[in-house]
């Protein structure tokens, strides 16, 4: 992970104190050990001020002493080193699926030190799922001996349209659930203790994890997860942007072909999600197999076992039909990215999901196509990257990082 040097911009005495504490604590998230002198140099804060802050952190148990470090180049007294008490501050990260949920306990570095998968019936009512989430969270914390004051927050990630401001699932993938379910408020009311609760779409947290791995000069980024469904995360000025109704990031429902006869689940025609849906692409390829008997895709298509990975591999091997299929998909991605440049103007676009694991031909052609984009004869300088990052791990990393940033914004020692 790239080291991020926080800035000190506060002006009022109380705000300055909190800003300084935040800056010091944030340094420890990216460095296993630091001395008072190193902290002072990194954020241009006096050693006296750093010493007071470290003392408060030691007293609260957030920071621990790691003993003496090596002598400096000039020799002399060996400095004392400090590091985060990683398990002192934890995040409870919950991934809610159609018939199960994953629960992970994350330390301050967003590393999972406990994980559990809980299965339930796909017909379970919303109220019963909230109870299962509540009971599971309380049980796991009790079993691990964790107190509420050790929990920085609980993160719930789910599919569908999610309003992060209202902590509400506006539309769920579960057809037996109503609209506008206030899952954040309901969990808060059901839990026997009070901790911050954050609710959002999975993909926003995945995008935040990808953003945290970027160099510090990347402030504006769009993350796209695309497989059978498509979602996104838009980050502007280092913050997730979701908009008034939390529709920002619903990239799959950006219309890129208004004349299309393919209807999306959202009710519209020509949505990006449907034009690149890997299941639909595979089905259409199978249907067209008889006109391409010389293709390396024919046998898998004839056996009806063909999937998008077969198309990626065949294109990499030089198969003309596979490359023709992917060229059409590249065009759709290019139109999407063109639209993103005039709505979000990102420095970088990261593509994950099936298209993040697309081999060589697809990302090369996409990069070539995007490089040709222009706006009023001005070249669009945008980096496009396909990422093979594990989806589940990406969610947990993003959930932990997101919670830690919110903890920094409100904590005072």
- Give the 3-state secondary structure of residue 339: helix
Domain-embedded: residue 166: yes
What phi and psi, each to the nearest 5 degrees, are found at residue 348?
A: -145, 145
Domain-embedded: residue 190: yes
User: pLDDT at residue 73 above 80?
Assistant: no
What phi and psi, each to the nearest 5 degrees, are found at residue 173?
A: -75, -10
User: pLDDT at residue 2 above 80?
Assistant: no
Percent of the chain scored above 90 by pLDDT? 66
Same domain, 367 and 222: yes
> Which among 112-126, 167-181, 325-339, 391-405 has the top mean pLDDT?
325-339
Same domain, 163 and 308: no
Radius of gyration in angstroms for the set of CA atoms belonging to the chain, rounded to a whole number: 24
Domain-embedded: residue 1: no
Tens-place pLDDT, residues 217-240: 899 999 999 999 999 999 999 999
Cβ proximity of 152 and 90 under 8 Å: yes
Range 39-55 average pLDDT = 91
Same domain, 380 and 400: no
Range of the domain at 63: 13-84
| Domain termination site, one of 34, 60, 84 | 84
Same domain, 126 and 250: no
Same domain, 77 and 105: no
User: pLDDT at residue 8 above 70?
Assistant: no
Domain-embedded: residue 6: no
> 391-410 and 202-212 are packed helices; what angle lies between their axes, rounded to 10 degrees?
80
Same domain, 38 and 113: no
Of the given ranges (7-21, 116-130, 201-215, 379-393), which has the lowest mean pLDDT? 7-21
Range 190-200 average pLDDT = 96
Domain-embedded: residue 259: yes
User: pLDDT at residue 9 above 50?
Assistant: no
Is residue 14 very low, low, confident or very high in pLDDT (cuts 50, 70, 90)? low
Say which CATH number the domain at 404 has: 3.30.420.40
Report d(CA 274, CA 272) in Å as an integer: 6
Number of domain units in the chain:
3
Tens-place pLDDT, residues 332-343: 999 999 999 999
Model pLDDT, residue 175: 77
Range 205-225 average pLDDT = 92
Strand partners, 235: 221, 240
Same domain, 76 and 102: no
User: pLDDT at residue 411 above 80?
Assistant: no
Tens-place pLDDT, residues 76-103: 688 999 988 876 789 999 999 888 899 9
User: pLDDT at residue 359 above 50?
Assistant: yes
Same domain, 140 and 51: no
Same domain, 100 and 65: no
Cβ proximity of 114 and 404 under 8 Å: no
Is residue 365 very low, low, confident or very high in pLDDT (cuts 50, 70, 90)? very high
Tens-place pLDDT, residues 243-291: 988 899 999 999 999 999 989 988 999 999 999 999 999 999 999 999 9
Domain-embedded: residue 109: yes
Model pLDDT, residue 1: 41
Same domain, 148 and 253: no
Model pLDDT, residue 413: 60
Predicted structure pTM score: 0.86
Report d(CA 139, CA 271) in Å as an integer: 42
One-letter-per-residue 3-state SS of 152-179: EEEEEEECCEEECCCCEEEECCCCCCCC
Is residue 191 very low, low, confident or very high in pLDDT (cuts 50, 70, 90)? very high
User: pLDDT at residue 11 above 50?
Assistant: no
Is residue 110 very low, low, confident or very high in pLDDT (cuts 50, 70, 90)? confident
From residue 393, alpha-carbon distances to 106, 156, 208 in Å are 11, 14, 12
Domain-embedded: residue 3: no
* Mean of all residue pLDDT scores within the chain: 90
DSSP string for 73-123: TT-SSPPEEEEE-TTTSEEEEEEE-SSEEEEEEE-TTS-EEEEEEEE--TT
Same domain, 54 and 100: no
Distance of CA 260 to the CA centre of its chain: 31
Is residue 6 very low, low, confident or very high in pLDDT (cuts 50, 70, 90)? low
Domain-embedded: residue 8: no
Tens-place pLDDT, residues 49-60: 999 999 988 887
Say which CATH number the domain at 24 has: 1.10.10.10
Same domain, 177 and 237: no
């Amino acid at each position: 992970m790239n080291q991020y040097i926080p800035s000190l911009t506060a002006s009022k005495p109380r705000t300055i104190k909190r800003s300084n504490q935040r800056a010091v604590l944030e340094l420890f998230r990216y460095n296993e050990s630091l001395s008072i002198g190193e902290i002072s140099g990194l954020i241009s804060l006096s050693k006296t001020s750093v010493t007071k802050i470290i003392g408060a952190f030691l007293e609260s148990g957030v920071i621990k002493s790691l003993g003496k470090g090596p002598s400096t180049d000039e020799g002399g007294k060996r400095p004392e080193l400090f590091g985060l008490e990683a398990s002192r501050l934890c995040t409870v990260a919950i991934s809610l699926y159609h018939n199960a949920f994953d629960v992970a306990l994350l330390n301050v570095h967003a590393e999972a030190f406990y994980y559990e998968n809980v299965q339930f019936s796909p017909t379970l009512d919303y109220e019963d799922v909230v109870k299962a989430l509540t009971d599971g969270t309380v049980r796991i914390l009790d079993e691990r001996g964790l107190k509420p004051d050790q929990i920085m927050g609980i993160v719930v990630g789910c599919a569908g349209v999610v309003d992060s401001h209202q902590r509400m699932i506006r539309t769920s993938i579960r057809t037996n659930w109503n609209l506008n379910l206030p899952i954040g408020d309901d969990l808060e009311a059901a839990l026997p203790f009070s901790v911050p609760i954050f609710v959002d779409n999975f993909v926003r947290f995945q995008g935040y994890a990808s953003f945290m791995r970027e160099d510090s000069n990347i402030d504006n980024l769009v993350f796209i997860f695309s497989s059978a469904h498509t979602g996104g995360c838009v980050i502007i000025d280092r913050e997730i942007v979701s908009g008034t109704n939390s529709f920002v990031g619903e990239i799959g429902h950006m219309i890129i072909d208004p004349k299309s006869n393919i209807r999306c689940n959202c009710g519209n025609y020509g949505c990006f999600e449907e034009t690149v849906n890997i299941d639909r692409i595979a089905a259409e390829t199978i249907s067209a197999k008889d006109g391409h008997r010389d293709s390396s895709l024919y046998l898998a298509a004839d056996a009806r076992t063909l999937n998008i990975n077969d198309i990626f591999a065949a294109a990499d091997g030089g198969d003309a039909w596979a490359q023709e299929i992917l060229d059409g998909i590249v065009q759709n991605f290019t139109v999407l990215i063109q639209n993103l440049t005039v709505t979000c103007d990102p420095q970088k676009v990261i593509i994950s999901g099936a298209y993040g694991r697309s081999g060589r031909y697809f990302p090369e052609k996409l990069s070539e196509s995007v490089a040709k984009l222009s706006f009023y004869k001005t070249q669009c300088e945008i980096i496009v990257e396909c990422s093979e990052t594990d989806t589940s791990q990406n969610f947990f990393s993003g959930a932990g990082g997101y919670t830690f940033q919110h903890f920094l914004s409100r904590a005072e020692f």
